[in-house]
């Protein structure tokens, strides 16, 4: 039984992901890579691998260090996000509207609600 109170609101994750260069391999620690940004939760989630090799990390907008994850964002075809964040002090300085404008200029946006 879950004692957590149910929320009346849903969080939206914006999902950016890489392709999988070896889809026939069931387990791996490096690919695919997935970047999820939730402005509702004020978190960025970085996952990579599949099967038993799946791992990841979550960071609050204020604690996300762009320089540490720049190559990961590149692998997710999110160089544009690096350019968007570089002049800002942190991800917390980026509005959801600015993010949506930038991402929709580059193609389809995948969202998931939780």
pLDDT per residue as tens digits for the range 39-77: 999 999 999 999 999 999 999 999 999 999 999 999 998
Name the pTM for this structure: 0.84
Residue 20 is predicted with a pLDDT of 92
Q: Residue 9: pLDDT above 80?
A: no
Residue 39 is predicted with a pLDDT of 97
Please state the rounded mean pLDDT for residues 84-104: 93
Confidence grade of residue 108 (pLDDT, cut at 50, 70, 90): confident
Which H, E and C letters describe the chain, residue by residue? Answer: CCCCCCCCCCCEEEEEECCCCCCCCCCEEEEEEEEEEECCCCEEEEEEEEHHHCEEEEEECCCCCHHHHHHHHHHCCCHHHHHHHCCCCCHHHCCHHHHHHHHHCCCCCEEEEC
């Amino acid at each position: 039984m879950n004692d957590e109170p149910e929320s009346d609101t849903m969080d939206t994750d914006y999902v950016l992901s890489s392709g999988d260069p070896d889809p026939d391999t069931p387990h791996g620690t490096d690919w695919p890579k997935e970047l999820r940004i939730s402005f509702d939760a004020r978190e960025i989630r970085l996952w990579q691998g599949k099967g038993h090799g799946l791992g990841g990390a979550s960071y609050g907008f204020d604690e996300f260090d762009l320089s540490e994850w720049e190559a990961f964002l590149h692998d997710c075809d999110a160089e544009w996000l690096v350019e968007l964040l570089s002049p800002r002090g942190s991800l917390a300085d980026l509005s959801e509207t600015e993010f949506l404008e930038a991402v929709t200029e580059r193609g389809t946006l995948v969202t998931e609600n939780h």
